[in-house]
Amino acid sequence: MFIVLRYIFKGAVGVITESKKRAISQIDQLMNQYCEHCMIKTHIRKSQNKTQAHHFCISECSVGKQIQQLGNELQ
């Protein structure tokens, strides 16, 4: 089922399906619950840089891996 809602994502206009809407909601929930106040991410950003913190999140953190999987559903 398609929702008549349109969105702009990286310059492309598309229609949000229910599964994409669910994935976006889950990503938002995970980021708010775990990533927003993550001490490890904060420490890496201060001691190294944002790129290294991002690399840690997507390659080492279980929550980051989950978010990445959900993000793949949006493509």
- What's the whole-model pTM score? 0.73
Report the range of poorest mean pLDDT among 3-7, 21-25, 35-39.
3-7
**pLDDT at position 13, please?**
58
Structure tokens given for 12: 């492309």
CB distance 69 to 57 below 8 Å: no
CA terminus-to-terminus distance, the chain: 17
Q: For 43-74, what is each residue's pLDDT tens digit?
A: 999 999 999 999 999 999 999 999 999 999 98
Instruction: Write the CB contacts of 20 (distance below 8 Å, at least 6 apart in sequence).
Output: 73, 74
Structure tokens given for 7: 């969105």
- HEC string of 33-54 equals HHHCCCHHHHHHHHHCCHHHHH
